[in-house]
Structure 1
Amino acid sequence: MAVLISLAFAGWWLFNAYAPRLMRTAFVPRITFQDSPQAAQPDYTALSGWIAHPRRPQSPALAAPPDFTRQPNRARMCSTLGQTPTSAAASGTIRWTTQPAGPCKWRPCVMRPAPSTASAWAPLIRQASLGAQYSRTEDARAAIDLAYTDVQAAFDAFLAARDPDRPFFLVGHGQGALLAKRLLAGRIAETTLSQSLVAAYLLGWPVDRNRDLFALNVRACQDPRDSRCIVSWSTFADPTDAEHFLAAAAWLERARPVDAPRLLCTNPSAARRMRSRSARRRTMAPCPSPRPRLAR
């Protein structure tokens, strides 16, 4: 029993000490991006190119808890374009990008807004594999670039189909937040589309309060009634060593790493409390930014 406990402790220590290296060994493809097989881009003019779509039968966006009361007479006021997080390791060392999966495999990843208040759009894309987030190579950036071409094509289809008078949300988590932030910078910020943006929810990916908000020319949401702003938070273990995560994000975004990042961290529970007490308090208090202890 003592030997088994010692081996378990040693394995736990080795994994924590060498986790990034082990993850690179397990998931980073051993071939170049050019040699990696790529699937064809989904057709976003067809329902088959979407995980969730207002006209898609049995759309995951229509799912609701058993006790949810639908309100069919309420007007659908907003559209939501969502990007899902990295969903698979992409066959380990075989592919730099994932094969777009069928909608049924993606349902747990799709945001589910109340069907009486919003129409949700979530495209199938050729995501960068998990290994791309553990690689500091141009192959990893090429995989992200390929995923972004799908996001842009889906966004074009979304713009062509949406009511131009209807405002919209932009939502992403993990890799989806990276792609949504890039879309916000390249296609929405400082354009007429920014007037229709309710808010961008960029979750599980670092958004620096100084660098990113300045570059995007978009402010952080401070009040539940704010619009044309960003809501973001990232979760970390406590204690944590976030050096790898922040360095990988900077590499994939082609940005200079920040020694002491000030990550945007909006507390969603504060917003919910605010909606019930808006007459007494109208400022959404941000939660303290995580303070990752970077290895020196």
Structure 2
Amino acid sequence: MKPNWRRWIFGAIIGVNMLIGLTAYLMRDNLFRELIQPAVPFQVDEPPPLPDYSDAAAWALRPQESSPDQGKADVFIVHPTTAWSGSTGWNMDIADNVARTRLETIALPNHAEPFAGAGPLWVPRYRQAVLFALLSQRDDSREALNLAYEDVERAFEAFRAARDPKRPFVLVGLGQGGLHVMRLLQQKGDLGPMLAATYLIDQPVPESLYEGPQAVPGFPRPCQTAQQTRCLISFTSLDGGDRRGEHILTQRSTIWTQARGYHAIEGAPIACINPLTGSQAQTHAGPGTNRGSAAASGLERGTEPALLPGETGAICRNGLLWVEVNRPAALSRARFELGTFYKITGYNLFYAALANDVETRLANLK
């Protein structure tokens, strides 16, 4: 009888561990949020030092004053979230080593460099809200996003003051950076004919900002062709069949509107421009149209990544950009890591497409 009891006990232990593992998997979003949640309320949190945008140290990338103008435009890029843990507060110091390393080794080579062919890149460091602020609708989260936006607005004004107003410029916002650029466009109004193109990537943009009774004057409308200028290129990509991700993006994504400030998107219709076609058309662009994805993490500035052509196609459907899931591991999210859905990717599925898109639009600017 004793061996039977041992088998029962051993089986029970295995069953309990499997149950714990299954529960942790099903509750992984809640578990991840708990792990990265700031420990103190925003009101008692000590904000990091204010960046000085007259100082080169406040910029991740900025052209040298002594260097001649290159390219056809100036490119102002607001980077995505690279501060995941809230252990040090609601907003991250621009000097934080972990967030800076992610920015310089992952975000810049994968997501900023595709725009380098257009001209000098201006990428401000800002007191970004930590990732938890984008995953909740708490007052603390809104305050953290407000503080981050104030830095972005000051950096943009420094950018405008330093550049030739007769020269075209491009706006790019990625992830949290897309949220801040979306707000910037609403608060600054029409930025004039020199704004050649606006890219809001992996940040849902409600259609109500550019059409209908609540449309914001001057907010760029979606591009209808790959040659059109002074228009919006916006997409939020998602692996095909990811219904959980679809719900998160279409219901819980944070947006900013003049009427309500920061709030959840709650199913509002979303803009989607396919980067493989440069248009709103909801037709499938097959892998053959993709000139090259890239896994550029860790590459030094100026190093061209090895492009991987034809690895995925894409289609705009219900406001989201759906992509094929059968891709090399280097172009896929980590499978067994908490919060990978919310973190910046160490690759860019549309690296070559974006590089070509911005250069084509600038070539057609009149």
Same fold (TM over 0.5): yes
Instruction: Output the CA distance in 1 between the equivalents of 2:224 and 2:193.
Output: 18
Map of 1:14 onto structure 2: 23
8 Å CA contact retained: 1:26, 1:93: no
User: Given residue 172 of structure 1, which amino acid in structure 2 is its aligned partner?
Assistant: G
Instruction: Output the CA distance in 2 between the equivalents of 1:4 and 1:196.
Output: 66
Matched, 1:269 2:270: no
User: Given residue 228 of structure 1, which amino acid in structure 2 is its aligned partner?
Assistant: R
Deviation digits for residues 104-156 of structure 1 (CA, Å, limit 9, x no counterpart): 65222120146554111000000000111223211100000000110011011
Q: Decide which moves more: 162-171 or 74-83.
A: 74-83
Map of 2:37 onto structure 1: 28
Distance 1:122 1:11, change over 3 A: farther
Map of 1:37 onto structure 2: 46
Map of 2:210 onto structure 1: 213
8 Å CA contact retained: 1:133, 1:248: no
Matched, 1:289 2:318: yes
User: Given residue 212 of structure 1, which amino acid in structure 2 is its aligned partner?
Assistant: L
* Matched ranges for 1:231-250 at <5 A: 231-237=233-239, 238-241=241-244, 242-250=246-254
Instruction: Output the CA distance in 2 between the equivalents of 1:105 and 1:265.
Output: 27
Instruction: Give the TM-score of the pair, scaled to structure 1.
Output: 0.76
User: Given residue 35 of structure 1, which amino acid in structure 2 is its aligned partner?
Assistant: V
2:225 to 223, 226, 235: 223
Distance 1:240 1:155, change over 3 A: same
Instruction: Output the CA distance in 1 between the equivalents of 2:236 and 2:146.
Output: 23
Instruction: Output the CA distance in 2 between the equivalents of 1:226 and 1:8.
Output: 57
Map of 1:87 onto structure 2: 82
Aligned residue for 2:150, secondary structure, equals helix
User: Given residue 134 of structure 2, which amino acid in structure 1 is its aligned partner?
Assistant: Q
CA RMSD of aligned residues (A): 3.4
- The size of the alignment, in residue pairs, is 264
Map of 1:184 onto structure 2: 185
2:71 to 69, 76, 96: 76
Instruction: Give the TM-score of the pair, scaled to structure 2.
Output: 0.63
Gaps of 5+ in 2: 1-9, 279-284, 292-313, 322-366
User: Given residue 28 of structure 1, which amino acid in structure 2 is its aligned partner?
Assistant: Q
Map of 1:278 onto structure 2: none
Aligned residue for 2:198, secondary structure, equals strand
Instruction: Output the CA distance in 1 between the equivalents of 2:255 and 2:119.
Output: 35
Instruction: Output the CA distance in 2 between the equivalents of 1:266 and 1:5.
Output: 48
8 Å CA contact retained: 1:100, 1:125: yes
Deviation digits for residues 52-76 of structure 1 (CA, Å, limit 9, x no counterpart): 101189xxxxxxxxxxxxxx9x952
Aligned residue for 1:195, secondary structure, equals coil
Aligned residue for 2:123, secondary structure, equals strand
Distance 1:7 1:50, change over 3 A: farther
Map of 2:200 onto structure 1: 202
Map of 1:154 onto structure 2: 155
Deviation digits for residues 230-288 of structure 1 (CA, Å, limit 9, x no counterpart): 1111123422224444444347663665554332221111249699xxxxxxxxx9722
Instruction: Output the CA distance in 2 between the equivalents of 1:219 and 1:208.
Output: 11
Map of 1:127 onto structure 2: 128
8 Å CA contact retained: 2:78, 2:174: yes
8 Å CA contact retained: 2:134, 2:254: no
Map of 1:163 onto structure 2: 164
Map of 1:100 onto structure 2: 94
Deviation digits for residues 203-244 of structure 1 (CA, Å, limit 9, x no counterpart): 1111122x2223334210111221221111112342222444
| Higher-Rg member (1/2) | 2
Instruction: Output the CA distance in 1 between the equivalents of 2:23 and 2:101.
Output: 37
8 Å CA contact retained: 1:29, 1:95: yes
